[in-house]
Amino acid sequence: MDQIKIDKILGSRRLSNYWWATIVLLGSFSFFIVGLSAYLSITVIPFLPQGAIMIFYGISGILLSLFLWYTIIFDVGSGYNKFDNMQGVVTIFRLGFPGKNRILKLEYNIKQIYSIKIRIQEGLSSRREIYLKTKDKREIPLTKVGEPISVYEIEKQAKEIAKFLDVIIEGAES
């Protein structure tokens, strides 16, 4: 049996983020151009109030799009979960926004781990998450943020991790 298990975590560089960043940029740029053309009296739209509102929405959308592209470029949220039975350490590594706290690296001794907890919340915004639960009752999320995966897949992943670490599985439904 392998002594090290590494699960890669996909961050902001996913197809849906590229899609939305591009759509928001194109749409907001279009709003800005229409508002600007109203200001320059190129179109029949009056500048006040329609043109001014179009420019405001255009600038707001462009700023939102720049933020989305910023998170994609810096791959915010990406990282890995490393389970090392040889050294007896679990490492959770994630990238954040640039700055002094860009790198989040948590290390736990395997002996501190009490269980692997599954939390399933169904509804309009369903959530399916796996947590590393320590003996002092802390719950550290292990799953990636974004598209929810099937209940079967989340249970399979949790079972693999629990078996690898030789701990129990807890379930919680909301």
The contacts of residue 56 (CB under 8 Å, 6+ apart) are 35
C-alpha to C-alpha distance for 133 and 162, rounded to whole angstroms: 11
On whether residue 31 sits in a domain, the answer given is: yes
Same-domain check for residues 115 and 147: yes
On whether residue 111 sits in a domain, the answer given is: yes
The contacts of residue 146 (CB under 8 Å, 6+ apart) are 10, 14, 16
On whether residue 4 sits in a domain, the answer given is: no
Domain harbouring 113, CATH code: 2.30.29
Same-domain check for residues 110 and 56: no
C-alpha to C-alpha distance for 95 and 97, rounded to whole angstroms: 7
Q: Give the percent of the chain with pLDDT over 90.
A: 82
What is the domain extent for residue 67? 15-73
On whether residue 121 sits in a domain, the answer given is: yes
Of 73, 105, 139, the residue at which a domain comes to its end is: 73
Same-domain check for residues 58 and 110: no
Which pLDDT score is estimated for 150?
A: 86
Which pLDDT score is estimated for 172?
A: 63
Of 73, 99, 115, the residue at which a domain comes to its end is: 73
Which pLDDT score is estimated for 174?
A: 54
Q: What is the pLDDT of residues 15-66, one digit of tens each?
A: 999 999 999 999 999 999 999 999 999 988 999 999 999 999 999 999 999 9
Q: Tell me if 164 sits within 8 A of 141, measured CB to CB.
A: no
Q: Tell me if 58 sits within 8 A of 31, measured CB to CB.
A: yes
Answer whether residue 143 shows pLDDT above 90: no
Q: What is the pLDDT of residues 89-109, one digit of tens each?
A: 999 999 999 999 999 999 999
Same-domain check for residues 67 and 84: no
On whether residue 9 sits in a domain, the answer given is: no
Mean pLDDT along residues 114-121: 91
On whether residue 84 sits in a domain, the answer given is: yes
The structure's pTM equals 0.84
Integer-rounded Cα Rg, in Å, for the chain is 23
The contacts of residue 64 (CB under 8 Å, 6+ apart) are 24, 28
- 3-class SS letters over 7-18: EEECCCCCHHHH
Number of domains in the chain: 2
